[in-house]
Amino acid sequence: MIWISMRVLMFNNPLTGHFLPLLPLARALRKQGHAVAFVSAPAMAGAVGAEGFELIPAGPSVDVTVAEVGRRTGADMMTAPSPALVGEFFAGVRIDLSADEALAGARAWEPDLVVSEHCDFVGPLVATVLKVPSAVMGIDPALEPEVLDALAATAHSRYVERGLEAPAQAPAGRWLLDLCPPGLQRDGALPALDRIALRPEPHQGPEGTPRAARTPGTGRPRVLVSLSTARGAAPTLGPLLRSLSALDVDLVATSSGVPVDDLGLEPGRVELVTFLPAAELLDGVSAVVHHGGSGTTFGAAARGIPAVVVPDTAGQQRQAFRLQAAGAGLALPIGEQDPDAVTAAVGRLLAEPGFTAAAQRLRDEIEAMPTASEVAERLTASVMA
């Protein structure tokens, strides 16, 4: 058998949560001898470089894109992200401000395959211009039909003005690489693409990175609090940890450098970490409190760990409601996330075994999904056929 290597170009919005889900497939492709590079904003250089991949810089940071959406529409998508504003952000402004740079870089790099996360609309356009096959990776449960319609409608004119045939739907491509386990997916919500299930994995650091020293547990249930540090993240870490400390648990919390002495807790009551890969954070954990990002949602599910989700955005709320519908967690409404309510929800997760049983069913579903290595081999066989 003659082995032919591919050149695979991956596209993502310049957000960590949109980059990390691509990594297992990127690593698998590289391990199988293929060349892999990423296209994203220069702000992603550190994260991409730490993994040993090349970054082709294209487009602005998220803050610049948000500001441009506001200038064009007069609305703040961070406070009221309607489908039209979501479409303008991902499929309008990002294409307008990124496509020319991305096309120039892609032409020079000469990919055989383009892979984009499902909120990136630059990659599919580049693939259409270059006439190379493309795959889209669904990193969340499927988006709502009205959001998908707005994305497709906004992208349409960007294709037409370049003399290209616009896709009839969003997301578009030859393959849909679906990270969502069946138990969290919305029925009838997937686009009509060639679907390939892809096992989601808790994020692991670069190969060879030593594991961090951790505070040993006491034998009590360990509760991980991993909340967004972005603008508007809620609830505040200190009051939440003080409330959770009333439970008979060990606490682990991610923090953006807040000194433990500033939290008002008794010494040794909580282990604070600034950053650890999710695969390490989730070790020995009985329950998770998180904001509803796909990485933590799918990562906890892959370990069979139930969660309390305190969403800040409509996208996070989508994940929260799917997790609650599966019986593997509890979702608190946006704006109703006081620390005592979170603590009561965590207490339920620990006291009622049905939540852990449902989370373990999701774990079993995930373990039955094809690995990144298997999907890489399938893509290679299809592209090189």
pTM of the model: 0.92
Exposure of 368 in the CB half-sphere (CA atoms within 13 A)? 9
Q: Is residue 306 part of a domain?
A: yes
Reported as a pLDDT band with limits 50, 70 and 90, residue 235 is very low
Give the CATH number, domain containing residue 292.
3.40.50.2000
**pLDDT for res 110:** 97
Q: What is the pLDDT of residues 170-199, one digit of tens each?
A: 888 999 999 999 999 887 667 778 999 999
| Percentage with pLDDT > 70 across the chain | 92
Q: What is the pLDDT of residues 96-123, one digit of tens each?
A: 999 999 999 999 999 999 999 999 999 9
Are 179 and 263 found together in one domain? no
Closest CA to 342 of 218, 280, 269, 249: 249
For the ranges 157-161, 198-202, 240-244, 351-355, the lowest mean pLDDT is seen at 240-244
Residue 255's domain comprises: 222-366
Are 315 and 230 found together in one domain? yes
Q: Which residues of 216-246 are buried (b: 16+ CB within 10 A; e: fewer)?
A: eeeeebbbbbbbbeeeeebbebbebbbbbbe
Reported as a pLDDT band with limits 50, 70 and 90, residue 263 is low
**pLDDT for res 225:** 93
Are 185 and 334 found together in one domain? no
**pLDDT for res 260:** 64
Q: Is residue 25 part of a domain?
A: yes
Q: What does the chain come to in residues? A: 385
Burial class of residue 210 in the structure, from the number of CB atoms within 10 Å of its CB (0-12 exposed, 13-18 middle, 19+ buried): exposed
Are 278 and 376 found together in one domain? no
Mean pLDDT, residues 260-288: 82
Angle at 367 between CA 142 and CA 383, to 5 degrees: 65
Asked if pLDDT for residue 150 goes beyond 70, the answer is: yes
For the record, the structure tokens of 30 come out as 């590289």
Closest CA to 81 of 12, 125, 143, 157: 143
Tally of domains within the chain: 2
Q: Is residue 193 part of a domain?
A: yes
Are 162 and 16 found together in one domain? yes
Are 152 and 259 found together in one domain? no
Q: Is residue 154 part of a domain?
A: yes
Reported as a pLDDT band with limits 50, 70 and 90, residue 259 is low
Mean pLDDT, residues 11-22: 95
Angle at 32 between CA 26 and CA 34, to 5 degrees: 65
222 beta partners:
250
Q: Is residue 208 part of a domain?
A: no
**pLDDT for res 255:** 77
For the ranges 57-71, 152-166, 229-243, the lowest mean pLDDT is seen at 229-243
